[in-house]
Amino acid sequence: MSILDSITVAEQKAAQIKQEAAAEARETIRSAETQADEEAAELIRSAEQLAGSSLKKAEEAALTEAQGLLQQQAAKDEAAAKAARAKLPQAARYIVERIEKQ
């Protein structure tokens, strides 16, 4: 085999090795992208679950707080109504006195 033939064979082998390396690199990149996509999807699912759980806890806390505030306001309203009912006879006497004086 002549030197030119050896060079040609070596160049062909180099080209084949280069093509194989490029194909392997493409496959490695494709595999890495797929794995990254799967990991990202899992992270998104986890974040959505965590956010949903946090939102539910916040809603429950807000509901509990609102119920407490409503109970407090109802107690204040009942106390005000009781005080008004206690003053009702006095108010009625005052009105009657004013009417009688006219």
The whole-number pLDDT of residue 102 equals 77
CA distances from 39 to 20, 27, 46, 53, 88 (A): 28, 18, 10, 21, 72
pLDDT of residue 98 exceeding 90, the answer is no
Q: Give the pTM.
A: 0.52
Instruction: Spell 4-18 as b/e; 16+ CB within 10 A means b.
Output: eeeeeeeeeeeeeee
The whole-number pLDDT of residue 30 equals 97
Higher per-residue pLDDT: 44 or 92: 44
d(CA 48, CA 54): 10
d(CA 6, CA 77): 104
Instruction: Spell 59-83 as b/e; 16+ CB within 10 A means b.
Output: eeeeeeeeeeeeeeeeeeeeeeeee
pLDDT digits (tens, 9 = 90+) for 8-46: 999 999 999 999 999 999 999 999 999 999 999 999 999
